[in-house]
C-alpha cells in the first residue's frame, strides 16, 4: 500500500482516492472564559445563526443569510493506524502520527490555543471525522495523547470528541460530523472501510448515526452530518447508485438521512458524497470516479426538503479515471494535475458542479468540496499549477470547501495547514514562506455572496424503483395508506406536479404557491372514479383517480406496473381553476422550458405547468397495454 505524499493511502485493487479540505479568513480571538476556554468571538456570533439549511445552490443560516462553508478537516478521531505492525508504534501510523483515535494535536497544544489558531486562519467550520469504532471504544486514551490538555485525561475517545465539539462550537465554529471510517484504520484503500457496511451492517451504521445525531442535538452549532467518506470498491465489488442491493450507496444514504432527520435532529444538514471509485485501475478495464454524476438521473429527496448538500473530493494526483497510484496499479489516464486549466474546469463541472450550477433541477443543491489539499513541500510544477487552478475555480465560483488536513505534526505531515512540534511551536500556512499562501489568500479574499438569499422553488424527484418513497412526515405518521403497494409521497410543503409513464418516478414542487396544504390532517386515498363529477370525463376510456373537490395530489402508488391509488389532501385555500388533460403515454408532454429536469430518465413524462396543480391520474386497464400513468389532470391554481 503506497503512501502518497502523506496525503491518504491508496490501495491497488480499490484505487480509492484521497481528498482534503480547508479555508481561511480573519477572525479575532475571543477573550478567555474563567475555565480557560474561549467564548464565541463577537464577529463569529454576529455572522451566522444556527441552524443551517439550503436555498437552491446556497447554504443559509436561520435568518436566510448565506453561510459559505470555509472549512478544514481536523482529523485523527477516525484513526491513524496503517494496518500492519503494532498499533502502538508511530512508524505504523499515517505520516508517523499516532492520533490515538482522537483529533490530532491535543498532545502538543491546548484546546484554547488551537482554536485561536483556527480563527487566525479564518475558517468558520470544521469537518470532524470519526470512526464507528471510536463511538464504541470504552478504554480511556493514554495520558500521552492529551499531554497539553490534562483535563482530558481518563476520558474515552468519544468523550474527548465531545470535549472538542463543545470547544469548537463555544468558539463560534460550525461543526460537521463526518463518519470517515468503520474501523480506526487509516483509509482509503482496501482496508475494511470501503463502504459504510464493509465492517458492519447497514442497520448498525444507521443506528450509530442516530446515536451521534442525538448526542449533539442540544448543540445548535453542530450543523451537519457527513454520512460517509469516499465510498469505493473493495477487492471484489463496486458500490452503486440505485440498484437496490447491499452495495447501493444511494439507498443507504437515503435511509440514514431520513432516520437522522426524523428520529434524532431535524436541524442537521445532510451531506452525501458521490461515489469515489469503481472498477479496477488497470488499462483496458473499466474504472473511474463517478463522483456526483449519477445524481443527474437519480437524486435524493429527504424528509426535510431543504437539508441536502452534495459533496465531492479532488486531489491533483488523482484523476477522472486515475486512482492516484504510481508504479503497480498506475494507468495511463490523466491526473487532474495533467489537465489544462480549461480541461480541469470542465471536468469539475461534469463531475460535481453541475449540481449547483444548473438551477431549478431535481438535483439542484449546494456542493461542498469537503476534501482537497497539497503539501507545503510539493515541488512539482504540475501539482503546484493544479493547486492554483483549483483554488482559482473555488474563488471565482464562490465554492463551499474544506481543506485536508487542518492539524499535523511538524516534520511529519506537510499537507497540514497548521503543524506543531513537541514543544507546541506552530508552523504552516500562516508562515510567509509557505508557497500555498498565495493561492489561499486569493481564495479567502475573493468576492463572495453574502447577506440574504431569496427563497427559490424546490424540485424533488420521487423514485419507487425498489419500494416505498414516502417523504412526508405527516403521511408517515398516519401509517400505511395502501398496504402492499409501492408508494411515493412528496415532502411536506410540496405537491405532485409530474409523473413518468411507468409510474416509477415522479416530480414534486412548491413553485408558485409554497405550501399549498391545509393544516387539517385529513387525506384521501383514491382508488376509483367516485370523485369524477358527472360530465367531467377528462380521459375517456381510461380509469381516472381524481381528487375530491378542493384537494390536490401529493402522492401515488403502484402494484407492479399498474397504477394503484392516488393520495390527495385538502388545500388551505380555494382550488377552483380550469382543468386540462396532459397525456404522456406516447411521448413527453411537459411545458416549454419546464423546470425540474429529467426526473424520469428514459420514460415518457407528463408535467403540469408551474401555475397548476395535479388533481388526478388516468391509466388504462386494457389487456396488453401499459397500466402505468397515462395522463394527468392539471388545474389552474386560481
Residue-level pLDDT at 47: 82
State the 10-residue block means of pLDDT for the chain, 638 residues long: 36 31 31 43 65 98 98 98 93 96 98 98 97 98 98 98 98 98 91 94 98 98 98 94 98 98 98 96 95 98 97 97 89 97 98 98 98 98 98 98 98 97 97 95 94 97 97 97 97 98 97 95 96 96 97 97 97 91 97 97 98 98 91 95
Q: Determine the pLDDT at residue 329.
A: 79
Helices 437-445 and 381-396 sit at what angle, rounded to 10 degrees?
10
Residue 327: the pLDDT is 87
This prediction has a pTM of 0.93
Provide the pLDDT for residue 577: 81
- The 10 Å Cβ neighbour count of residue 468 is 15
Query: If you ran DSSP here, which 8-state letter would residue 37 be given?
Result: P
**pLDDT tens profile 532-552:** 999 999 999 999 999 999 999
What pLDDT does 142 receive? Answer: 98
pLDDT at 576: 77
Give CA–CA dist 132/182, Å, rounded.
Answer: 5
pLDDT of 263 reads 98
The whole-angstrom distance between residue 280's C-alpha and the CA centroid of its chain comes to: 26
Which residues are paired to 277 by β-bridges? Answer: 232
Q: Would you say 385 and 432 are in contact if contact means Cβ atoms under 8 Å apart?
A: no
pLDDT at 103: 98
For strands 505-509 and 495-500, give the pairing: antiparallel
Q: What pLDDT is attached to residue 543?
A: 97
Residue 178's φ and ψ, nearest 5 degrees, are: -130, 115
Residue 7 has what pLDDT?
A: 41
3-class SS at 350? helix
How crowded is the C-beta side of 551, counted as CA atoms within 13 Å?
23
Measured distance CA(424)–CA(575) in Å, rounded: 68
Please report which residue ranges of 339-414 form alpha helices under DSSP H.
341-348, 354-357, 381-396
Q: Which of 46, 13, 7, 10 is nearest to 27 (CA)?
A: 46
pLDDT at 4: 40
Task: Give me the pLDDT at residue 168, please.
Answer: 98
Q: What is the pLDDT of residue 188?
A: 84
Which helix (H) or strand (E) segment is 577 a member of? none
Domains of the chain, start order:
53-445 (3.20.20.80), 459-636 (no CATH)
pLDDT of residue 10: 40
pLDDT at 623: 86
Amino acid at each position: 500500500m503506497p503512501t502518497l505524499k502523506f496525503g491518504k493511502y491508496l490501495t491497488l485493487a480499490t484505487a480509492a482516492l484521497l481528498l482534503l479540505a480547508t479555508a481561511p479568513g480573519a477572525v479575532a480571538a475571543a477573550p478567555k472564559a474563567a475555565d480557560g476556554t474561549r467564548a464565541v468571538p463577537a464577529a463569529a456570533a454576529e455572522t451566522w445563526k444556527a441552524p443551517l439549511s439550503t436555498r437552491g445552490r446556497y447554504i443559509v443560516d436561520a435568518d436566510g443569510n448565506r453561510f459559505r462553508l470555509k472549512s478544514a478537516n481536523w482529523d485523527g478521531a477516525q484513526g491513524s493506524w496503517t494496518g500492519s505492525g503494532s498499533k502502538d508504534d508511530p512508524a505504523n501510523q499515517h505520516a508517523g502520527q499516532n492520533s490515538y483515535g482522537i483529533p490530532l494535536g491535543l498532545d502538543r497544544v491546548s484546546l484554547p490555543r488551537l482554536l485561536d489558531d483556527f480563527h487566525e486562519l479564518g475558517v468558520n467550520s470544521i469537518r470532524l471525522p470519526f470512526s464507528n469504532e471510536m463511538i464504541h471504544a470504552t478504554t480511556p486514551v493514554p495520558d500521552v495523547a492529551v499531554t497539553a490538555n490534562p483535563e482530558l485525561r481518563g476520558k474515552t475517545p468519544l468523550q474527548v470528541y465531545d470535549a472538542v465539539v463543545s470547544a469548537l462550537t463555544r468558539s463560534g465554529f460550525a461543526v460537521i460530523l463526518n463518519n470517515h471510517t468503520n474501523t480506526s484504520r487509516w483509509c482509503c484503500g482496501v482496508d475494511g472501510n470501503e463502504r459504510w457496511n464493509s465492517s458492519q451492517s447497514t442497520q448498525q451504521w444507521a443506528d450509530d448515526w442516530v446515536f451521534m445525531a442525538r448526542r449533539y442535538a442540544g448543540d445548535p452549532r453542530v450543523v451537519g452530518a457527513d454520512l460517509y467518506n469516499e465510498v469505493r470498491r473493495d477487492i471484489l465489488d463496486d458500490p452503486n447508485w440505485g440498484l437496490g442491493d447491499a452495495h447501493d450507496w444511494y439507498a443507504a444514504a437515503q435511509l440514514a438521512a431520513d432516520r437522522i432527520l426524523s428520529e434524532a435532529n431535524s436541524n442537521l444538514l445532510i451531506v452525501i458524497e458521490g461515489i469515489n471509485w469503481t472498477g479496477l485501475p488497470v488499462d483496458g478495464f473499466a474504472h473511474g470516479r463517478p463522483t456526483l454524476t449519477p445524481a443527474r438521473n437519480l437524486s435524493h429527496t429527504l424528509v426535510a426538503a431543504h437539508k441536502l448538500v452534495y459533496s465531492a473530493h479532488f486531489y491533483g494526483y488523482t484523476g477522472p479515471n486515475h486512482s492516484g497510484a504510481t508504479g503497480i496499479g498506475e494507468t495511463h489516464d490523466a491526473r487532474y494535475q495533467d489537465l489544462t486549466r480549461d480541461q480541469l474546469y470542465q471536468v469539475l463541472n461534469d463531475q460535481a458542479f453541475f449540481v449547483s450550477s444548473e438551477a431549478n433541477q431535481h438535483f439542484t443543491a449546494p456542493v461542498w468540496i469537503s476534501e482537497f489539499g497539497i503539501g507545503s513541500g510539493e515541488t512539482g510544477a504540475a501539482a503546484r499549477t493544479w493547486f492554483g487552478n483549483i483554488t482559482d475555480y473555488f474563488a471565482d465560483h464562490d465554492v463551499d470547501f474544506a481543506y485536508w488536513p487542518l492539524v499535523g505534526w511538524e516534520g511529519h505531515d506537510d499537507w497540514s495547514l497548521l503543524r506543531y512540534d513537541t514543544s507546541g511551536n506552530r508552523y504552516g500556512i500562516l508562515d510567509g514562506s509557505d508557497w500555498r499562501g498565495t493561492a489561499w489568500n486569493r481564495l479567502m479574499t475573493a468576492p463572495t455572496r453574502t447577506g440574504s438569499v431569496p427563497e427559490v422553488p424546490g424540485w424533488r424527484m420521487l423514485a419507487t424503483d425498489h419500494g416505498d418513497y414516502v417523504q412526508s412526515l405527516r403521511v408517515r405518521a398516519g401509517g400505511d395508506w395502501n398496504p402492499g403497494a409501492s408508494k411515493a409521497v412528496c415532502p411536506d410543503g410540496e405537491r405532485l406536479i409530474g409523473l413518468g409513464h411507468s409510474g416509477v418516478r415522479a416530480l414534486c414542487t412548491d413553485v408558485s404557491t409554497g405550501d399549498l396544504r391545509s393544516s387539517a390532517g385529513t387525506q384521501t386515498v383514491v382508488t376509483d372514479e367516485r370523485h369524477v363529477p358527472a360530465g367531467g370525463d377528462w380521459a375517456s376510456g381510461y380509469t381516472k383517480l381524481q381528487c375530491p373537490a378542493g384537494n390536490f395530489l401529493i402522492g401515488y402508488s403502484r402494484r407492479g406496473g399498474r397504477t394503484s391509488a392516488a393520495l390527495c389532501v385538502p388545500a388551505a385555500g380555494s382550488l377552483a381553476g380550469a382543468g386540462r388533460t396532459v397525456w404522456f403515454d406516447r411521448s413527453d408532454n411537459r411545458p416549454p422550458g419546464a423546470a425540474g429536469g429529467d426526473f424520469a430518465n428514459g420514460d415518457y413524462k407528463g408535467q403540469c405547468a408551474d401555475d397548476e396543480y395535479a388533481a388526478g391520474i388516468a391509466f388504462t386497464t386494457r389487456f396488453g397495454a401499459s397500466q402505468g400513468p397515462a395522463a394527468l389532470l392539471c388545474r389552474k391554481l386560481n
